[in-house]
């Protein structure tokens, strides 16, 4: 593969990883909210799950923005 092809594959892998992290975060966050309610966990633990989910979403937003910027900077 050429350098350009390798870069494209790496970019696709990174985008796929972002998608998996975001989907997994959403599922785990829903599960944590449901389980927290069922078990009667204190609000501070449920809030900790919220903060972890927000951190994952911010990470996904930053990486997606970086991918977008790289694609825009490519010569056509």
In 3D, which of 33, 16, 29 has the Cα closest to residue 57? 29
pLDDT at 58: 98
Ramachandran region, residue 19 (left: φ > 0; alpha: ψ -120 to 50; beta: rest): alpha
Q: Does pTM top 0.85 for this prediction?
A: no
pLDDT in tens, 3-26: 677 888 999 999 999 999 999 999
Q: In the chain, which residue ranges form alpha helices assigned H by DSSP?
A: 3-39, 43-73
pLDDT in tens, 46-70: 899 999 999 999 999 999 999 999 9
């Amino acid at each position: 593969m050429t350098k350009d092809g390798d870069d494209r594959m790496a970019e696709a892998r990174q985008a796929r990883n972002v998608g998996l992290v975001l989907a997994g975060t959403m599922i785990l966050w829903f599960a944590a909210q449901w389980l927290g309610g069922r078990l009667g966990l204190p609000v501070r633990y449920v809030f900790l799950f919220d903060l972890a989910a927000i951190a994952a979403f911010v990470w996904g937003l930053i990486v997606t923005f970086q991918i977008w910027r790289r694609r825009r900077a490519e010569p056509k």
